Amino acid sequence: MAAISVRGLTYIYPSSSEPNLKDVSLEVEKGEFLLVCGPTGGGKSTLCRCILGLIPHFYGGDMLGEVRVLDMDTREYPPSKLAPRVGMIFQNPEDQLVAMSIEEEVAFGPENLGLPREEIRRRVDEAIRFVGIEELRDRSPYELSSGQQQKVAIASILSMHPEILILDEPTSQIDPKSAIDIISLVHRLNRENSMTVVMTEHRLENAAQYADRIVIISDGRVVHNGRPSEVLQLESLTEHGVPVPKIVQLSNRLRGMGVRLDHLPLTVEDAADILGRMLK
């Protein structure tokens, strides 16, 4: 069964004269890792808001078509009903941190679910261990670097045991090393916990290798939808504002010059492996 099913979705913000999403149809399978790319203003964040039910409940505007999340029609279920099962990570972690200590932050979600004390404690320990921030437990979220804050934000979502995780450019404010940590963390959640992941990203260097599928949304429409190695070889990508990683650009050019690579490498290590073997 699909975890998320979007059918004929057209949406227009209250203040806008043109729809931000135009007839978008999309399915995300349970346990799938979907990467959503495209130009700024193309509709990526709007799609995330639709999946969370923030559209139409919070933003208003006109919505046509249907969004079903874990078999719940978002028109009928408000975000508060979806939130325990669909977690959201924002670009700027400071936007979602509320508590005075990491432990309180991570306990905030389960407390609001009214879980018993012992269960809350168990979930907090588990989430803190999973993202690897044990040593920060008693610190204030505001003393941390943005990379650490983003891990706290993820832990505070994980403690609610959601089935779907939505991340809207989770690494854009973060230095490259911490960005790799965050993406690997999301990958582990997807692999080890079978969490369904929908992530928007401008930087594909790290994320492309882990995604099952890439969807390109440009000018409110789905213009491409396929496996990363298929989508990233398309020539029209740069027009759609998709930052094709340098290693993929190079591989595409080599193929264009007649070099027969057996597949399109998505990482430097894979490219070095293929090219190294061919040059031997």
Partner 1 sequence: MKPLISAKGISFSYPNGVISLTDITLDLYPGESVAIMGENGAGKTTLVKHFIGLLRPGKGVIEIEGVNARTMTAAEIARKVGYVFQNPLYQLFSESVEKEVRLGLTPLNLPRDEVERRASKILEDLDLSRYRERHPLMLSEGERKRVALASVLIIEPKALILDEPTLGQDAVEKRKLAELLGKLHREGHTVILVTHDVEFAFEVCDRILIMSKGRIIADGPRREIVTLRRVLDEASLTQPQIPRLAALLKRAEFPGDTIAVDDAEQILISLFAEARSR
- Residues near partner 1 (CB under 8 A) are 38-41, 91, 145-147, 169, 172-178, 180, 202, 205, 238-239, 241-247, 249-250, 253-254, 257, 259, 268-269, 271-272, 275-276, 278-279
Indicate the residue among 25 and 184 with the shorter CB distance to partner 1. 184
| Phi, psi (rounded to 5 degrees) for 105 | -60, -45
**Token code pair at residue 71:** 């078999």
Pairing, β 33-37 against β 196-200: parallel
Q: H-type helices in the chain, by residue range?
A: 44-51, 54-57, 79-82, 102-112, 117-131, 146-158, 176-192, 228-231, 246-256, 268-279
Q: How far is the CB of 157 from partner 1 (least distance, A)?
A: 21
Of 64 and 268, nearer to partner 1 (C-beta) is 268
Which of 85, 59, 54, 87 minimizes the C-alpha distance to 70? 85
The nearest distance, CB 174 to partner 1, in angstroms, is: 7
Q: Which is nearer to partner 1, 13 or 77 (CB)?
A: 13
User: Least Å distance between CB 148 and partner 1?
Assistant: 9
Q: Closer CB to partner 1, residue 16 or residue 25?
A: 16
Angle, CA of 178, 163 and 218, to the nearest 5°: 65
Q: CA-to-CA distance for 110 and 175, rounded, in angstroms?
A: 30
In the complex, what is the shortest distance from the CB of residue 96 to partner 1, in angstroms, rounded to a whole number? 17
In the complex, least distance from residue 50 CB atom to partner 1, rounded to whole angstroms: 19
- Output 119 or 175, the one with its CB closest to partner 1: 175
Residue 247 vs residues 22, 48, 62, 196, 254: alpha-carbon distances, Å:
33, 29, 42, 28, 11
Q: Which is nearer to partner 1, 119 or 273 (CB)?
A: 273
Q: Is 3:29 a contact under the CB 8 Å cutoff?
A: yes
- Min dist. Cβ of residue 21 to partner 1 (A): 16
